[in-house]
Amino acid sequence: MSRVAQRGGASSANRAGDGEDICPVCKTSRYLNPNMRFLVNPECYHKMCESCVDRIFSHGPAQCPVAGCRRTLRKNKFRKQTFEDIQVEREVDIRRRVADVFNRREEDFDTLLDYNNYLNDVEDLTFNLIYKIDLEESEKKLESYRLDNEQSISQNKALASQESQSAEMRKMMEQEQAKLRREAARREEEQLRREREEGRQEVINKLAAGDGDASKIARESHSIVLKKSSARRAALERQQQLTNESNGATKTNFSIKGLKQKVEPEPEKPYDPFGGLSDARDSYVLQDDYDVDWLRSFKQDPRHNVGGYDFKEFYDRALCDAFSGLGVFIEDEMAGKELSSIAPGSVTAAAQAVTEGNTNEAKIIAEDVF
Ligand SMILES: [Zn+2]
Ligand SMILES: [Zn+2]
């Protein structure tokens, strides 16, 4: 990016910042009042400072003071702007309003396609509301749906709040368990330290009393410590097992009901460019070679073979053309029949006749496939 462009971008950003810091109603700027707060009303989303809102709307509903806007606003609807872009603010409000009414769940539908169609319709309606396309009609649709489905809407709302509550509870229980685990670990450590201290003291006392061999006393104390620690480890494992089991129990308590059986998708088949159509010829079988007089010279001519030219390709194409009826013209065919009085009905005979007759090339191809 060039420096000029950068500077331009920065200055325009500054201008926007200045504009945001001046109340469009009383023209107070943040420079004069650093504690100034801006509020918007979801009726028209015109921004004004808090003191303007207090001054104009304290005595009840009044018209929006912004020039050209005649909407009646109430003070209790004013709130702080969450998003910097007022368009985003408005869209979020509309989406929230629509989602409050259209709160059907996937379980309500027989098939996923129905659910997706419903989501698509809702999105269309939301889009219309956001971009003010057929605004009145869309509002009417929303309202009529709300009136028609009041019961299911409130049911689904209750379900949603229940779900969020149970999620909250689960989180709390997990936190509680983590806390208990931490405390248990701390207690364990404390006990270990105390036992070690006691053991050491005992050894010192025994040594001080002087009864018995010093090395024997040391060995004994060591074995006692080992025994204790192994017993503790076993107890710990037991406890771990118990908590695991109880965890499993709580997990089954919180299982989600009504989940549909997941069906493994079929493995993707290799790509078939013909879409299942076979290119096998069912009206003829291709031979490796055809012995035709006029082709013989071409077959022996190296000019027709050196380039990788395959006569089989030619046979196949010619046969395919012939059996598909390409290059066959009824009028010519009939004329050919009349011409061949030698053996009518036999194709080869007709072809011979045509070749002998030395008529045009097209006819040769039509009769004798090569
Ligand atoms: Zn103001
Ligand atoms: Zn307004």
User: In this predicted structure, what is the pLDDT of residue 16?
Assistant: 42
String of b and e for 281-305 (b: at least 16 CB within 10 Å)?
A: eeeeeeeeebeeeebeeeeeeeeee
* Stretch (H or E) spanning 156: helix 150-209
Burial classification of residue 64, based on how many CB atoms lie within 10 Å of its CB (0-12 exposed, 13-18 middle, 19 or more buried): buried
Tell me, yes or no, whether 161 and 228 share the same domain.
yes
In a domain, 285, yes or no: no
- Which ligand has the nearest atom to the CA of 23? 1
Tell me, yes or no, whether 179 and 230 share the same domain.
yes
User: In this predicted structure, what is the pLDDT of residue 3?
Assistant: 41
In a domain, 160, yes or no: yes
- Show the domain range for 28: 15-81
The residue from 24, 47, 81 where one domain ends is 81
- pLDDT tens figures, 109-126: 888 898 999 999 999 999
In a domain, 267, yes or no: no
Q: State the DSSP code for 22.
A: B
What's the CA gap between 48 and 64, in Å, rounded? 10
The residue from 34, 49, 81 where one domain ends is 81
- Which ligand has the nearest atom to the CA of 37? 1
- Which ligand has the nearest atom to the CA of 51? 1
SS3 state at 48: strand
Tell me, yes or no, whether 176 and 240 share the same domain.
yes
Tell me, yes or no, whether 244 and 174 share the same domain.
yes
Tell me, yes or no, whether 159 and 233 share the same domain.
yes
Tell me, yes or no, whether 189 and 243 share the same domain.
yes
Tell me, yes or no, whether 77 and 168 share the same domain.
no
Burial classification of residue 129, based on how many CB atoms lie within 10 Å of its CB (0-12 exposed, 13-18 middle, 19 or more buried): buried
In a domain, 329, yes or no: yes
User: How far is the first Cα of the chain from the last one, in angstroms, to the nearest whole number?
Assistant: 68
In a domain, 47, yes or no: yes
For the chain, 370 residues long, the average pLDDT of each consecutive 10-residue run is 40 45 87 87 90 92 89 91 88 92 86 90 92 90 89 89 93 94 93 90 84 77 77 78 58 45 75 80 81 83 80 85 77 68 47 45 47
Residue 60 Cα to ligand 2 midpoint, Å, equals 16
The residue from 81, 104, 133 where one domain ends is 81
User: In this predicted structure, what is the pLDDT of residue 313?
Assistant: 85
The answer to whether 193 and 211 are in contact (CB under 8 A) is no
In a domain, 286, yes or no: no
Q: Please name which of 102, 133, 147 lies closest in space to residue 120, comparing C-alpha atoms.
A: 102
- Which ligand has the nearest atom to the CA of 26? 1
Residue 45 Cα to ligand 2 midpoint, Å, equals 6
Residue 71 Cα to ligand 2 midpoint, Å, equals 6
Q: Which conformational region is residue 325 in: left (phi greater than 0), alpha (psi within -120 to 50 degrees), or beta?
A: left
Residue 338 Cα to ligand 1 midpoint, Å, equals 104
In a domain, 174, yes or no: yes
- Which ligand has the nearest atom to the CA of 77? 2
Residue 261 Cα to ligand 2 midpoint, Å, equals 52
Residue with tokens 């409050």: 100
Tell me, yes or no, whether 238 and 309 share the same domain.
no
Residue 49 Cα to ligand 1 midpoint, Å, equals 4
Residue 199 Cα to ligand 1 midpoint, Å, equals 78
Residue 86 Cα to ligand 1 midpoint, Å, equals 18
Tell me, yes or no, whether 245 and 308 share the same domain.
no
Backbone angles phi, psi at 243, to 5 degrees: -65, -35
Residue 368 Cα to ligand 1 midpoint, Å, equals 96
Residue with tokens 């549909």: 260
Residue 39 Cα to ligand 1 midpoint, Å, equals 10
Residue 25 Cα to ligand 1 midpoint, Å, equals 5
Residue 46 Cα to ligand 1 midpoint, Å, equals 11
In a domain, 148, yes or no: no
Q: How far is CA 88 from CA 92, 99, 107, 257, in A?
A: 6, 16, 31, 37
Residue 98 Cα to ligand 2 midpoint, Å, equals 22
User: In this predicted structure, what is the pLDDT of residue 228?
Assistant: 75
Render 276-340 in DSSP notation, one character per residue.
T-----SS----S----HHHHHHHH-GGGTTT---HHHHHHHHHHHHHHTTT--HHHHHHHHHH-
Question: How many residues in the chain?
Answer: 370
Tell me, yes or no, whether 246 and 321 share the same domain.
no
User: In this predicted structure, what is the pLDDT of residue 319?
Assistant: 85
How many distinct structural domains can be found in the chain? 3
Residue 65 Cα to ligand 1 midpoint, Å, equals 10
- Which ligand has the nearest atom to the CA of 56? 1
Six-digit token string for 71: 């909407």
- Which ligand has the nearest atom to the CA of 21? 1
Residue 55 Cα to ligand 1 midpoint, Å, equals 9
Tell me, yes or no, whether 170 and 240 share the same domain.
yes
What's the CA gap between 135 and 141, in Å, rounded? 10
The answer to whether 37 and 30 are in contact (CB under 8 A) is no
- Which ligand has the nearest atom to the CA of 33? 1
Which residues are near ligand 2, the ion (C-beta closer than 5 Å)? 44, 46, 64, 66, 69
